[in-house]
Structure 1
Amino acid sequence: MAAGERDIAHELWSVIHHRWWLVVLLSLLGGALALSASLMRTPVYAATATLYVTANTGPGGALEAYQGSLASQQRVESYTKLVESDAVLNRAIAGSGLRISVDEARSMLAAYTTPETVLLSISANSPDGDGAVELADSVAASLVDYVNTLETPPGGGEASARLTIVSPATLSEGPISPRITRSTGLGFVFGALVGLAVCFGWERFDNRVRSKEDLGFALGSPVVGSVPADESVGNGGVLEFSDSGTAATEAYRKLRTNLAFVNVDSEFSLLGVTSPRPGDGKTSTSLNLAASFAELGQRVVVVDCDLRRPTVALRVGANGGVGLADVLSGSASLVDVIQRDRIRDFDLLASGPPVPNPSQLLASEKMGRVLSELREHYDLVICDTPPVLLVADACVVGQRVDGLIVVARAGRTSRKDVADVGSQLSSAGVRVLGSVLNRVPVNPAEYGYAGYSGRGYSGDGIRAHSDLGQFETTTER
């Protein structure tokens, strides 16, 4: 399948997958309206009489018979026009018990022929089945008489052509209108088409990422994690991995495992975390991912590389006044500013005081030496970077790490923003390991085992640690 066809197929699936309920709802509504309209209409019945046209060719052989057949076929087309003529209809109404006008009779009638035959059919439609039969028979009889008059020579003699009623008017087995089954089916189809049109219109103006498929398709990289929505995580809390097996902790453990499989060919110890815009959840992902790796006994440090709007220290109650900026400016060493979370067992390098030149500091050789030194002392260094679409800092840091993961927020981040992030990172030569969809609406089927731990089932839900200030400056590595 070509790339363009895959794009169209994915768009169709994405629209239907996200808003299938709207298509179903409008389809049912369309079918219900069609059914109601059909039931409210007055049934109409049809009665059809069939006539046979014969041309008088006199005695002769096969040639004369063939010529007579051709003459009959030529005449039958003209006779269909005579069915609605005033002369035929006046005679038919006068000879029947119907109390209708010529115009009313004309609106109720239809005449047609069977191709390549000399058969002529007269059909009458009416809410009154008996009235339809009487009208069709009366018109057929009137037409026979009128044709006989027309085809008889002025001097008398045998008519050159005649009509014969071969089948008197027969009433249809049921009403020809409304066709309830057909109308209801068409209503369902029309409603579904309207639903699809509404969905595509909605999708045109609302292109937010809502599923892992959306995210992976927009970024062009695998989705390595999906974190369920939860108030504690949404408020920036760091989860307690030691005593809970909730949906969120399991999601971060799965992310930890997936990262190992994404990078099977080479080990990575420098990991960057970014997002398209603020509020997508990159910092929460950085901190909880660090806690999940620390759970395995690995030495982990989180580096706040957002020197413009740092939030890591604030999230965990650490001292944000000292940190990376001090090291890069030469006013402090790493051992002086690294803080340790004694509860979750990972270290933190905050951003430090505000600086006037964040991009230059992050792109400096000193930044490269700092990351190299951290790599030597830690199993994993997680760099929390600024959003990609606001400043170039994420691309600068991304060029120094082993890989970057992009965090998007379900129902908020747009697919265009994700695609732009992928384009910018690719242009900068940044390796993207994958993406994480954050704050996904909880699906019981997907997170059905949330709450299961080694000590039984936990009903406490997701709980951020209450003692966020358990930090100390340490020189132990």
Structure 2
Amino acid sequence: MTQGDLNLDLRDYLRIARRSWILIIASALVGILVGGAASVLIRPTYTAKTQLFVAIQSSGSIQELQQGNTFSQARVQSYVKTVDSPIVLQPAIDALGLTISPEELANQVQAKTDLNTVLIDIDVSDSSPVQAAAIAQAVAKSLISAVDSLERPKTGGSSPVSLSIISPATAPTAPSAPNTRLNLVLGLLIGLAAGIGSAILRAHLDNRIRGEADLRRVTEASLLGAISFDQDATKKPLLTQAPAQSPRAESFRQLRTNLQFANVAGHAQTILVTSSLPGEGKSTTATNLAIALAQAGQTVCLVDADLRRPMVDEYLGLDRNAGLTTALVGDADVADLMQPWGEDNLFVLTSGRIPPNPSELLGSGEMQNLISRLEQSFDSVIIDAPPLLPVTDAAVLSQHVGGVVVVASVQKIRQHDLEKSLAALRLVDAKILGVVLNRLPAKGPDSYAYGYYADTERPKQGSFRVESRERPESLNQWVLDSGDPDVTEESRPASHFPSDRLRRG
């Protein structure tokens, strides 16, 4: 845990609370249940009370009354401490026929007095309300007798001190303990404290990247985009398979726009898309970014340079047997290996056969020449590269491209893994354009919402809209979801790769 992890402000604590609200609520409920269970399991205790008045016997003159009152207040503290002594408790035990010792009875008896008063309060607790009242009354009477005996002059005569019971003990109607309401409140407070403490501790120990706030603890690189998690993305990963106004489609359009601002100088014509670990969604991000750029009117080339686990051909339904490796080893020209896809100017160079030496091929001069040829013929070249940490392919290839985009999957990638990935890119002087957070939650403290208009109605004639195309069951047929029954497969122009544009290096 670093010092930066400890420097949390109020917003961080609120974010932690929102992330772990289930844990906090569960802990509070457990605390309430424990408090309620304690109230049920603890044996009820009843408390009986009695009160005595201490007076000085005098002739009644004003001076004697003042002296007597001062004397009473001075002596009453001594009488309070006498209550739990055997001289008081043993006669009470004998009178009631109890089978306990004075020491045991002293634990049930409590005597107290307020300052500047001559009143003594005696409280007795017992599991039986009747017996609590009987003991309180017996102790009060025993105290009267004990004080009378202790204060009586040795030369004879009556005691100058007189104690009287002014509030006889009665059997209580309700138990004094357990206090169910207090136990429930204490259980709630303790449960909340335990839940909040556990949430903060878990937040400190868990170094996974959950959102933009965690990303900022790792790097100041630009956040180019945030892709919302979509349950349907596993079955329909392509941008064209999502509704045009869906958050997922808007996310990739926002990524396209942010890339244009990140590449305002126009030097990064070839963009490498990679990640730290496998399974973070780099291939779908690269594919959908290429589709989004093509939908914006650019001529785009998507290259599958993941020569270990290629996935682009599976997403797009293309042939993988001849592709990048075929061109690099000189078996065919790259112009003959391009495969058009969709209705826009998107052309795909699949991986080709998986070679035994991917790093050497990607770092070769042939690869650098191939990228140069592609940059001369296309507006944008998107390269899907292997992850950075398991292999060095992406770091090697990053030296030949204009910029690198790192995809980070929330809840999967840890902060130190992303730090290692960015450090590996900086080590080879790669230009890092920014980071894309993938699979962000649609709601909650770590969500990254885009404003969009969800309009499911058919647009008016003449209005602009981005069409959405979905792949049907047959990979060889495509249907344009235009809402126009006159648009058919035959009426759409076919996309062909302009091989004359791809000049040989």
Give TM-score, length-normalised by structure 1: 0.77
User: Structure 2 vs 1, CA of residues 163 and 404 (structure 1 numbering), >3 Å: closer, same or farther?
Assistant: farther
- 1:141 maps to which residue? 141
Shift, 1:131, TM fit: 4.5
Q: Distance in 2 between matches of 1:202 and 1:357?
A: 43
Q: Please list the CA deviations of residues 8-41 of structure 1 after superposition, one character each: whole Å capped at 9, or x if unmatched.
A: 8787555533331232133224314423542565
SS at match of 1:25: helix
1:68-107 to structure 2, matched below 5 A, reads 73=74, 78-93=78-93, 98=96, 100-103=98-101, 105-107=105-107
Q: Give the letter aligned to residue 377 of structure 1.
A: S
Q: Distance in 1 between matches of 2:371 and 2:54?
A: 101
User: Structure 2 vs 1, CA of residues 224 and 34 (structure 1 numbering), >3 Å: closer, same or farther?
Assistant: same
Contact 2:55 2:68 in 1 (8 A): no
Q: Please list the CA deviations of residues 160-201 of structure 1 after superposition, one character each: whole Å capped at 9, or x if unmatched.
A: 877566765588896432222211111222333444466567
Q: Give the letter aligned to residue 147 of structure 1.
A: V
The share of aligned pairs that are identical, in percent, is 32
1:239-258 to structure 2, matched below 5 A, reads 239-240=239-240, 244-258=244-258
- 1:178 maps to which residue? 178
Shift, 1:356, TM fit: 4.3
Q: Distance in 1 between matches of 2:135 and 2:51?
A: 13
Shift, 1:133, TM fit: 4.1
- 1:391 maps to which residue? 391
Q: Distance in 1 between matches of 2:423 and 2:157?
A: 94
Shift, 1:202, TM fit: 6.7
Q: Distance in 2 between matches of 1:454 and 1:291?
A: 24
Q: Distance in 1 between matches of 2:350 and 2:178?
A: 75
Q: Please list the CA deviations of residues 279-330 of structure 1 after superposition, one character each: whole Å capped at 9, or x if unmatched.
A: 2211111111111111111111112222333332343233434433344455
- 2:22 maps to which residue? 21
Q: Distance in 1 between matches of 2:377 and 2:7?
A: 46
- 1:34 maps to which residue? 35
User: Structure 2 vs 1, CA of residues 135 and 219 (structure 1 numbering), >3 Å: closer, same or farther?
Assistant: same
User: Structure 2 vs 1, CA of residues 68 and 305 (structure 1 numbering), >3 Å: closer, same or farther?
Assistant: same
Contact 1:239 1:465 in 2 (8 A): no
SS at match of 1:405: strand
Q: Distance in 2 between matches of 1:6 and 1:401?
A: 38
Contact 1:228 1:251 in 2 (8 A): no
| RMSD between superposed Cα atoms in Å | 4.5
Contact 1:220 1:422 in 2 (8 A): no
Q: Distance in 2 between matches of 1:223 and 1:115?
A: 73
Q: Give the letter aligned to residue 47 of structure 1.
A: A
1:36-435 to structure 2, matched below 5 A, reads 36-38=37-39, 43-51=44-52, 73=74, 78-93=78-93, 98=96, 100-103=98-101, 105-114=105-114, 120-129=120-129, 131-156=131-156, 175-196=175-196, 209-211=209-211, 213-214=213-214, 217=217, 221=221, 222=223, 224-231=225-232, 233-235=233-235, 237-240=237-240, 244-262=244-262, 268-329=268-329, 332-435=332-435
User: Structure 2 vs 1, CA of residues 55 and 344 (structure 1 numbering), >3 Å: closer, same or farther?
Assistant: farther
Unaligned ranges ≥5, structure 2: 461-467, 478-494
Q: Give the letter aligned to residue 124 of structure 1.
A: V
Moved more, 112-121 or 320-329: 112-121
Give TM-score, length-normalised by structure 2: 0.74
Shift, 1:129, TM fit: 4.6
Q: Distance in 1 between matches of 2:113 and 2:427?
A: 72
Q: Distance in 2 between matches of 1:365 and 1:26?
A: 61
Shift, 1:380, TM fit: 1.8
SS at match of 1:387: coil
Residues 1:455 and 2:458 are matched in the alignment: yes
Q: Distance in 1 between matches of 2:428 and 2:10?
A: 30
Q: Distance in 2 between matches of 1:200 and 1:376?
A: 53
Shift, 1:210, TM fit: 4.9
Q: Give the letter aligned to residue 18 of structure 1.
A: R
Q: Give the letter aligned to residue 110 of structure 2.
A: A
Contact 1:224 1:258 in 2 (8 A): yes
Q: Give the letter aligned to residue 455 of structure 1.
A: R
Q: Distance in 2 between matches of 1:348 and 1:415?
A: 33
User: Structure 2 vs 1, CA of residues 297 and 42 (structure 1 numbering), >3 Å: closer, same or farther?
Assistant: same
Q: Distance in 1 between matches of 2:59 and 2:500?
A: 125
User: Structure 2 vs 1, CA of residues 115 and 325 (structure 1 numbering), >3 Å: closer, same or farther?
Assistant: farther
Q: Distance in 2 between matches of 1:454 and 1:376?
A: 42
User: Structure 2 vs 1, CA of residues 152 and 70 (structure 1 numbering), >3 Å: closer, same or farther?
Assistant: closer
Q: Give the letter aligned to residue 23 of structure 2.
A: L
SS at match of 1:388: coil
Q: Please list the CA deviations of residues 119-150 of structure 1 after superposition, one character each: whole Å capped at 9, or x if unmatched.
A: 65321123555554443343223213212312
Q: Distance in 2 between matches of 1:163 and 1:404?
A: 94
User: Structure 2 vs 1, CA of residues 201 and 390 (structure 1 numbering), >3 Å: closer, same or farther?
Assistant: same
Q: Distance in 2 between matches of 1:469 and 1:126?
A: 88
- Aligned length, in residue pairs: 467
SS at match of 1:225: strand
- 1:475 maps to which residue? 499
SS at match of 2:123: strand
SS at match of 2:276: coil
